Amino acid sequence: MIGIFDSGIGGLTVVKAIRQRLSAYDIIYFGDTARGPYGNKSFAAILDNLRNGLEILRKCGAGIIVVACHAAAAAVYDPIGPRFDLPVLEVVSPAAKLALRQTTCGRLGIIVTRATIAGGLYAKKIGELDASARVYSLACPLLIPLAEEGWLNHPITCMIVKKYVHALKVRQIDTLILGCSYFPLFRRIIQTKIGRRVHLIDPSLAVADSLAQFLDENAAVNGRLTRNQSLRLMVSDFTDQIELAARMILKQKVRLEQCSG
């Protein structure tokens, strides 16, 4: 199966993208709702939680794992990735690559959480690919609870988005990465507030493409993955509100299993 890890249920945006891109494959999801969201957590805490989540997905039969949580991407890149016994992809590298393909002026904005900025993987990846690119990172922590509350089109959400993106607008960016698994849910509002000329990068689409390419190039991994279009959703803490939010993202009835490893 394709395993997908996230700090909560925001990573279901990545599930959606992967199901659209690779519809036949079985998917198993683990959202660490008992310890998430990770946006204000330290690297050490995120690393511990990530190790636990990857282990759960491996035990449940994942043959490859996609980490949907941007805050955990730096820890996937180093130290997890090279030492884990399954291939582990993260969302930051493909999003950074796609953003650099899209920009014409070389001025990129990234909206993220504090932990993602502290992890530094966006700055590192973009710097490696194009040392002349200018990167403006902005932590937007309030968007996570707004998503969890389902206030996707609320007037207050519009005001908060406007306040946040103003800081990037004055930087005259032409490309903006939605650097948290929840943020694609605000795509329409963000586009309105930042202006139509700014190209938005949805990392869930970028990582789905990257996964498809990886499977094309790695027949051994691809051959081990089952293809029955199934979707199994696990969380480390279950509440009705979490199930509601999951339903809102996937736009279908869902059943969440509780699993703490």
Q: Which member of 160, 168, 178, 190 binds its own copies (CB under 8 A)?
A: 160
Minimum gap (Å) between residue 212 Cβ and its own copies: 34
C-alpha–C-alpha distance, residues 64 and 89, integer Å: 8
Q: Which residues are catalytic?
A: 69, 180
Segment interacting with its own copies, rule: CB under 8 A, options 38-46, 63-71, 102-110, 181-189: 38-46
C-alpha–C-alpha distance, residues 155 and 147, integer Å: 13
Give, as ranges, the residues between 48 and 87 that touch its own copies (CB under 8 A).
none
Site string for its own copies, 218-257 (x = CB under 8 A): -------------------xxx-xx---------------
Interface with its own copies includes 148 (CB under 8 A)? yes
Segment interacting with its own copies, rule: CB under 8 A, options 72-80, 85-93, 138-146, 186-194: 138-146
Give the full edge-to-edge strand order of the sheet including 199-201. 134-139, 107-112, 175-178, 199-201
Q: Which member of 20, 42, 192, 230 binds its own copies (CB under 8 A)?
A: 42
Interface with its own copies includes 163 (CB under 8 A)? yes
Minimum gap (Å) between residue 249 Cβ and its own copies: 15
| CB nearer its own copies, residue 52 or residue 222 | 52
Q: How many residues bind its own copies (CB under 8 A)?
A: 27
What is the rounded radius of gyration, in angstroms, for the C-alpha atoms of the chain? 17
| CB nearer its own copies, residue 226 or residue 239 | 239
Q: Contact, 80 vs 121, CB < 8 A?
A: no
Q: Which member of 14, 71, 72, 146 binds its own copies (CB under 8 A)?
A: 146
C-alpha–C-alpha distance, residues 101 and 97, integer Å: 6
Output 212-217 pairs: Cβ under 8 A, ≥24 positions apart: 212/21, 212/22, 214/64, 214/87, 214/89, 215/22, 215/64
| CB nearer its own copies, residue 118 or residue 123 | 118
C-alpha–C-alpha distance, residues 209 and 153, integer Å: 28
Interface with its own copies includes 6 (CB under 8 A)? no
Interface with its own copies includes 153 (CB under 8 A)? no
- Provide φ and ψ at 247, rounded to 5°: -65, -40
- Provide φ and ψ at 105, rounded to 5°: -95, -10
C-alpha–C-alpha distance, residues 180 and 203, integer Å: 8
Minimum gap (Å) between residue 236 Cβ and its own copies: 8
C-alpha–C-alpha distance, residues 179 and 214, integer Å: 22
C-alpha–C-alpha distance, residues 131 and 247, integer Å: 41
User: Where does this chain bind its own copies (CB under 8 A)?
Assistant: 33-35, 40-42, 44-45, 114, 118, 141-142, 144-146, 148-149, 151, 156, 159-160, 163, 237-239, 241-242
